Amino acid sequence: MQFSTILPIAFCLVASTLANPMALPANHHGGAGAGAAAKVVSAQVKANVSAQIDKWLSDIESVNTFVDTVGSVTNPAIISSMAATAFVAAQNEGASNTILQQDVTLDACGQAAAQALIGQFNIIGPAINDTIFNPGNVKKNLDAINGARCPPPQGAGAISQEGDVQAAAASAVGIAVSPPQTPTACTAATAATN
């Protein structure tokens, strides 16, 4: 073969390879990360995702308990203490969102929810944190927290979005999960507006 014949063939092979790179597994997830060609996941990844979702659901429940009970508390020290506990849980919720995205590839719905949650977490965390140091702001901060977490129309639906991320991660590893519970404060707000 002449050089003029080999060069275009080699060029086409290189261009084809660059345009369609071979899918490689994630560096530590047994092929479950971005670029994995199939839904085959290791038992460890499946266990990690399941445990992370369980932890996230527990953290959601902790914040739910805070928003459902702190409004009736009058002692500033107790309000601050409750807010400190809820703040840790709220921070963990954001961490869970990030960890699940690192462990598996979320579907389009899960990815959209994960991105939307970043803005909601930037409302929830600071409002809880403000309550730690300014317990007199509890009413204003509860309104902000519930405004982010409760389902529409009274809120932006962060809890539903958290459920979407969890469901997408669970689906990616072949497990089923229940959606997170909505706090009573959200259902009470709905009843008050109807």
Split into its structural domains, the chain has a count of 1
Calpha distance 121→116 (Å, rounded): 9
- What one-character DSSP code corresponds to residue 20? S
- Residue 15 domain flag: no
pLDDT at 191: 53
- Assign residue 83 the CATH number of its domain: 1.20.120
Residue 80 neighbours by CB distance under 10 Å: 16
- Residue 24 domain flag: no
- Residue 131 domain flag: yes
- Residue 112 domain flag: yes
- Residue 165 domain flag: yes
Question: Model-level pTM greater than 0.75?
Answer: yes
Calpha distance 85→123 (Å, rounded): 17
- Residue 124 domain flag: yes
Calpha distance 61→64 (Å, rounded): 5
pLDDT at 190: 52
- Coil, strand or helix: which one is 40? coil
User: What averages of pLDDT result for each successive group of 10 residues across the chain (194 residues)?
Assistant: 44 37 38 47 95 98 98 98 98 97 97 97 98 98 97 95 98 96 84 50
pLDDT at 188: 76
Domain that holds residue 174: 41-193
